[in-house]
Amino acid sequence: MRALMKTLAASTAVAVLSALPAFAAGGEAAHGGEHAKGGLPQMNAETFPSQIFWLVVTFAVLYFVISRIAAPRISTVIEERRDRVADDLDRAAEFKAQAEAAIKAYEKAVADARAKARAVSDETRRKAKAEADRRRADMDAKLADELAAAEARIASRKAAVLSGLKALAAEAATAAVERLTAINVAAGEAEAAVDAALKR
Amino acid sequence: MVSGPSDQGNGQGNDPHAPLDALGKRIDAMENRPSVVAPKVKARSAEDSSAFGRAFKLSTEFVAAVAIGGGMGYLGDRVFGSGPVLFLVFFVLGVGAGFLNVWRAAQLINARAAELAKEASADQGLDFTCDDDDGDDDGRPKGRAGRP
Amino acid sequence: MFQQIANDPLHQFQVNTILPLKLGSWDISFTNASLWMVIAVLGVSLFLTLGIQRRALVPRRWQLMVEMAYEFVANTVRSNAGEEGMRFFPLVFTLFMFVLFCNLFGMIPYSFTVTSHIIVTFAMAMFVFLTVILVGLMRHGLRFFKLFVPSGVPSWILPLIVPIELISFLSRPVSLSVRLFANMLAGHTMLKVFAGFVVSMMAAGGVFSVMSIGPMLGIVFVTGLEFLVAFLQAYVFAVLTCIYLNDAIHLHEDH
């Protein structure tokens, strides 16, 4: 590539330089009429060889400086930066992936913990409810027993009171009949009469 | 990238994915921007897009061709001694070439202006990959498209 | 007085010998034109090498400018001449920087604008022109001349088209050189005309020195314009070089 450019530069420089006298002559012929002192300095063909010579020299130097020194340096700096930026971006993407993995793990842990907590709380609630149910059943049974006992006690008390009352009534009736009629009523009759009266 | 349903419903409003998604977008944006300095070049070019056409001086394109045509004819006449015949013929051909030049320069200016307008509207920097922007993947610009 | 103003703007284009030199029968004296070419080359070389010296990862302004210039031209070459055209990047970069710096240095008062001389721009254009022909011939041999025969044109019209294409091709170095030369000539002449007005109006004194604010604003405006023109002409020169190289590398759209 460099060889090609060198040949190119050299050959075109030679071509321009060799074409120079012809051009200068042509220029002079074409603009001979207006070639007076007051004309455009640009048309003064006497300056052409010097202009072209120094253009070729300076341009060749600049081409050398740019193609060998400046352009490679600039491209190196730009490439280095591009690589560095690409590396940084890759690393950023890597870190991002790591962060995402960490977040996923964290979320999983949170979900697991929540599920476990829910299971524990469900179990606890179930146990508590069972215990409560058992206690209530016990209490119910105990209360029912006590109620039954109380009712039995009341019933017997009532029977006793009733029978006491009956005897008292029969006695009172016997006494009253005896006083009124002087008839001695047999104890059994009086009680039968009281029973009959109570039934009415 | 991570579009997992964030159904934690734990009432702590900020989604831990949000900053990561933002980071992902920034990484993508940076990867799609090939050069740090490119946008400035683009801005400069877009600003100059109208001046580009003026800088071209279509009259120069035309006159140069007519001059070359006329010169060729004149030299031919000198060589062959054919009077003004070749001069006239080549002058006319030079006018034709002048129109051709102007037409091609106009094509180039239009293509360039369109490119600059596109670059200015797109928010990304200049593309320094080997893309030639005309979609036919031949590595050639559209500036020279359309020969007669 | 007005005669002096009229003459002044062209005086800046005068070539003056600094050191007389001879090469055979040629007069290759070191002139003010040569001096400004050397200054431009030094300027470009220092600008590029010193700017990149620090090799900073995050560039400062100078290094950024160097990298911008580099990437700008690289992008121009790549988009106009393809990846194969990048072989000629150093050439296009040299052309661009040289023309740009010659254009810019020409705006310094009392300096000399190298690119305002048709022979200089023509030599550069011929250099590009001959490079294109050489590259074309080396790559494609005689098939390079198919460049003048557009594909898909009926054969009876070829005797008309081929000369037209040939003239168009030959006119390239002319239009390339005249465009740059004419722009520099016109712009710098205008700049000097305004400057001449300012100087002579100031010298006239009184009302005139107050009125010289007009041409002064003109100078500001034209100077701004000339910066743009200096850049754009260097850019157009580089773009066209790339497009011509693209022709030589790829011939027509069909390879």
Residue B86 placed within a domain: yes
Flag whether pLDDT at B125 surpasses 50.
Answer: no
pLDDT of residue B61: 87
The domain total for chain B is 1
Flag whether pLDDT at A55 surpasses 90.
Answer: yes
In this complex, do A61 and C41 lie within 8 Å of one another by their Cβ atoms? Answer: yes
Flag whether pLDDT at C44 surpasses 80.
Answer: yes
Looking at per-residue pLDDT, the higher value among A132 and A180 belongs to A132
Helix, strand, coil fractions of chain A, as percent rounded to 5: 90, 0, 10
pLDDT of residue A23: 42
Q: In this complex, which of B37, B56, B96 lies closest to C71 when CB atoms are compared?
A: B37
| Domain spans in chain A, listed from the N-terminal domain onward | 2-91, 157-199
**Following CA atoms B131, B132, B136, B138 in sequence, which dihedral angle do they give, to the nearest 10 degrees?**
-90
Which of C117, C122, C132, C180 is most worth mutating to test chain A (most A CB atoms within 10 A of its CB)? Answer: C117
pLDDT of residue C47: 92
Q: In this complex, which of C68, C151, C235 lies closest to B37 when CB atoms are compared?
A: C68
Residue B92 placed within a domain: yes
Q: Which of A88-97, B21-30, C7-16 has the highest mean pLDDT?
A: A88-97
Which residues of C fall within a CB distance of 8 Å from B112? Answer: 239
> Do residues A150 and A171 touch, judged by C-beta distance below 8 A?
no
> In this prediction, what percent of chain A has a pLDDT beyond 70?
80
pLDDT of residue A62: 95
> A23 CB near a chain B CB, below 8 Å?
no
Looking at per-residue pLDDT, the higher value among B140 and A106 belongs to A106
pLDDT of residue B142: 43
A150-169 residues touching C, CB cutoff 8 A:
none
Which residue of chain B comes nearest to C63, CA vs CA?
B37
Residue B62 placed within a domain: yes
CA distance B107 to chain A (A): 30
Per the structure, the complete domain to which residue B72 belongs is given by 58-122
Lowest pLDDT segment from A30-34, A192-196, C102-106 = A30-34
* Interface chains of chain C (3 or more CB pairs under 8 Å): A, B
pLDDT digits (tens, 9 = 90+) for A98-131: 999 999 999 999 999 999 999 999 999 999 999 9
Looking at per-residue pLDDT, the higher value among C213 and A1 belongs to C213
B69-98 residues touching C, CB cutoff 8 A:
69, 72, 90, 93-94, 96-98
Q: In this complex, which of B16, B27, B36 lies closest to A92 when CB atoms are compared?
A: B27
